[in-house]
Amino acid sequence: MFKIKFVLILFTGFLSCTALAQDTTDLMSQLEQEVSKDDKNNTNITTATFKTTRLVNGHTVENVGKGVLDFKISHRFGKVNGGGYDLFGLDNATMRMGFDYGITNRFMVGIGRSTFEKTYDAFFKIKLLRQSTGNKKMPLTVSYVPTIALKTLKSLEPDSKDYFSSRLFFTHQLIIGSKLSEQTSFQLMPTYSHRNLVTLVTEPNDLIAIGIGGRQKLSKRVSLNAEYYYQLPEYKLANTTNALSVGFDIETGGHVFQLHLTNSQGMSERTFITETTGKWDKGDIFFGFNISRVFTIGKRG
């Protein structure tokens, strides 16, 4: 009896020794497991759904980070079908210069000036939902972007009264995006646009379009982007076409270069979504680029 007890004691003694003398690697993998469990209980917000805040002409779900200033220069050259005389459009360029700034990681503001119809624009973008994994799972990022544009080109009809309000255009966009994988992201952009003045009584003041866009990364620093805005037939201006754009993002540190082909020469929401007249099959294609340069000027929170 006593012997059995003794063996038991000895046995538990050995057991506890081996349990404590488990080797360093085991202890490390145990730690790693604990930490990865903790990590699963955290919420991981998806980042880098797109390389920058614009896909080609329009917005992506991306924001600039808090305290980051993004200086953007965009060019759209003339129509490629202009022929050799205009060097396939390179003689005629319109450009937009803009500054975007991140007030928080979810809220950014921006201003810009386009040479096209001498237009000033201003917007803000707020992330309503953010795609995440972990404890809180959210499959989508949803951003809301309202834009106001002021056309300052002198009125072509000197007889009609020129109200300030007639020069204003409002666009509201909801951007619903998802990073499907490291390489592939996709988004939908329902858009409502309002203009105070229309040229014909028959034209609607309220225009509605639905955008669809995405990116496919070709390498770590290059991605292929495309966007298409479909205008609802009852809510579009006569003789306009749907904007279709394809392009590449090339990212090098603080710069993103975007090179693209599009049938739209305008770069603010109301122009490319509702006033595009180019037809791809007729060769009304504009070559263009955006250059984005970011500066971190504020402190990160």
Partner 1 sequence: MKTLLSIATLLLLTGPLYAQKAYTKNGSISFFSKSPVENIDANNNQVMSVLNSQTGEIQFSVIVKAFHFEKALMEEHFNENYMESTKFPKATFKGVITDLAKVNFTKDGSYPVITSGDFTLHGVTKKITTPGIITIKNGIPSASSKFSVKLKDYEVVVPKLVKDNIAENIEITVACTYDQKL
d(CA 135, CA 59): 29
Nearer to partner 1, 23 or 159 (CB): 23
The CB-of-22 to partner 1 minimum distance in angstroms stands at: 8
Backbone angles phi, psi at 19, to 5 degrees: -65, -40
CB of 16 to partner 1, least distance (A): 6
Q: Decide whether 81 or 105 has the Cβ nearer to partner 1.
A: 105
Burial 52-84 (b: 16+ CB within 10 A, else e): bbbbbbbbbbbbbbbbbebebebbbbbbbebee
Angle, CA 69 vertex, CA 64 and CA 71 arms, to 5°: 105
Q: Which is nearer to partner 1, 170 or 257 (CB)?
A: 257
Residue type, 179: K
Residue 41: both structure tokens together: 């209980």
Residue 115, CB-side half-sphere exposure with 13 Å CA sphere:
10
Query: 51 or 76: whose CB is closer to partner 1?
Result: 51
Q: Shortest Cβ distance from residue 23 to partner 1 (Å)?
A: 8
CB nearer partner 1, residue 102 or residue 266: 102
Angle at 55 between CA 174 and CA 109, to 5 degrees: 60
- Name the minimum Å distance from CB 77 to partner 1: 24
- What is the smallest separation between the CB atom of 38 and partner 1, expressed in angstroms? 9
CA dihedral for 149, 48, 246, 91, sign (positive or negative): positive
Task: State which residue, 66 or 236, has the beta carbon closest to partner 1.
Answer: 66
Tell the smallest beta-carbon distance from residue 31 to partner 1 (Å): 5
* List of residues contacting partner 1 (CB under 8 A): 2, 6, 9-10, 13-14, 16-17, 20-21, 23-25, 27-28, 31-32, 34-35, 39, 47-48, 65-66, 68, 105, 182, 220-221, 251-254, 294, 296, 300
